Structure 1
């Protein structure tokens, strides 16, 4: 008898969630048992097989009053995933971890909400270090970097969006088992290509979400203070952008070249542009430049 999934589809047919045995589906029930607890941050967790964008879906749920703080939405595949500057990207089904969470940091001044993508980066890097056994670094403001063949590659990204007035939806995409022939661009990478000790997505996702809960709870408890929470120091320690010569491509077509010398109290990247001038960058695309 030909094995079939719970929809009755043979495993060799397109769309069958068991068609690639190297990429088994997530166990939603086990994830809920491991992450949802009384008094914890995470209140609900849903896994969908396919959607356009978990961020867009969760923003819509929040607007409709259908999602509490701590709602987690995970997709096995996204067909219209968005990054910063409205960039689009896709990845094979079950090749990565693609999820969004709804946060409502009402106790934190809005001026400090800009730290949320950086906080998420620290949490993701910390969680993956523990569960995947792979060294990661952060590129300001929202990229996760790994080393593949001695080269710096992007293996993940973060996108934060306002939702429902006092809410923020933070989306995370991490390439886990993406193979060399599946890379969308040569500068991309994955945990597997970086030599991760484990690519089992269930413990990886649990580790990342537990780390995010820990960092977010700590940050929120001190009113979002990046110093008191330890966030500013930890981010700086893991940021591959600091100490590098970079080009900041700013809104409006302006570009700024200089050395990334610090991340300030508002989460902005501070560039030293010569003659002792330091200029903070709050938004833009950062390119790491090779040494001359």
Structure 2
């Protein structure tokens, strides 16, 4: 014979079931080591009269922030779209970018550099690299080097590893969507490949994504405004010299793999006025290659 439950025990059992169900349901606070971004605080900190940023939206997940923002390219410039997780993040040449939810910063911005000649728009991913490295140095106290044309490197132990990437895409006739992906709290076990890194593995002093995102976006605004005020001139805006100073590619022997199974081997000696990498070959020639012309850039064997 089964004993009857008292109303009191029945109530306790029901309450426990409710708590268990609640704890097993998806919850934006389920990983306290990786808290969600605070959309309202970001808006308050970044949107101001006369400033570049006009909207800041944070979504739990999306395929690609670049693709989403490109669909809204008719709106004024300055929109920022941040995803806590990207399920179909893209890099250059349609390479994929994946990371656990809330483990990094995955965002895109809409820019309309109408006063800058279109032939200078190729500087935008390099500008984003300089701005991101500058912002991270201030907010996280970590040195970030730039690998031409669109990678962000940190030092883990004595090894350079990729911790971020940049993708610039045209959206219509007058807009560019600039996407940045940055590994923040990834552990060694979570890395997609051994050559990847994160700010945590590089010993960053700050891993809170809110101040990191604010710092990067403020730095991006500063550099973008200077560049636009100079009509995109990389010399007048000091973008060219600043990029060269932080570019880990320069001074190294590289192999540029080009379309058609062609390769170019030599020393990376400069970034020219068009943002192209200048390679000095062993026969004394210099050849400039653009980001759109290159499949891979690797250390020379």
For the superposition of Structure 1 and Structure 2, which TM-score range results when normalised by the shorter chain? over 0.9
Which residue number corresponds to residue 60 of structure 2? 49
Aligned to 1:60: 71
Match of 1:237 among 220, 229, 245: 245
Equivalent residue number for residue 164 of structure 1: 172
- 1:10 aligned to 2:22? yes
Q: C-alpha offsets along residues 156-194 of structure 1, whole Å, 9 cap, x if unaligned?
A: 000000002110000000000001000000000000000
Shift of 1:61: 1.3
Rg (Cα) greater in structure = 2
* Equivalent runs, 1:1-292 vs 2, <5 Å: 10-13=22-25, 15-62=26-73, 65=74, 67-283=75-291, 284=294, 285-289=296-300
Give the distance between the partners of 2:185 and 2:165, measured in 1 at CA: 16
CA contact 1:101–1:171 (8 Å) conserved in 2: yes
- Shift in alpha-carbon separation, 1:74–1:245, aligned structure 2, 3 A: same
Give, in angstroms, the shift of residue 288 of structure 1. 2.5
RMSD of aligned Cα (Å) = 1.6
Say which is worse superposed, 280-289 or 194-203, in terms of deviation.
Answer: 280-289
C-alpha deviations, 1:206-252, integer Å up to 9, x for none? Answer: 00000000000000001000000000000000000000001111123
In structure 2, how many angstroms separate the alpha carbons of the residues matched to 1:48 and 1:280?
40
The alpha-carbon deviation at position 152 of structure 1 amounts to: 0.5
Q: Is the contact made by 2:265 and 2:300 (CA closer than 8 Å) also made in structure 1?
A: no
Q: Secondary structure at the match of 2:72?
A: helix
- C-alpha contact 1:261 1:270 (8 A) present in aligned 2: yes
Query: Match of 1:198, SS?
Result: coil
> Could you tell me whether the CA contact under 8 Å between 1:11 and 1:18 is conserved in 2?
no
1:16 offset after TM fit, Å? 2.3
8 Å contact from structure 1 (residues 11, 17) kept in 2 = no
TM-score, normalising length from structure 2?
Answer: 0.91
Q: TM-score w.r.t. structure 1 length?
A: 0.94
Q: Paired residues, what number?
A: 282
CA offsets 1:46-91 (integer angstroms, 9 cap, x no match): 00000000000000111xx3x3200000000000000001001210
Distance of 2:282 and 2:23 partners within structure 1: 60
Query: How far apart in 1 are the matches of 2:116 and 2:153?
Result: 29
Structure 2 portions without partners, runs of 5+:
1-14
Q: C-alpha deviations, 1:118-169, integer Å up to 9, x for none? A: 0000000000000011111000000000001110000000000000211000
CA offset at residue 286 of structure 1? 1.1
How big is the shift at 1:11?
4.7
Q: In the aligned structure 1, how far is the partner of 2:274 from the partner of 2:44?
A: 36
Per-residue deviation at 1:112?
0.5
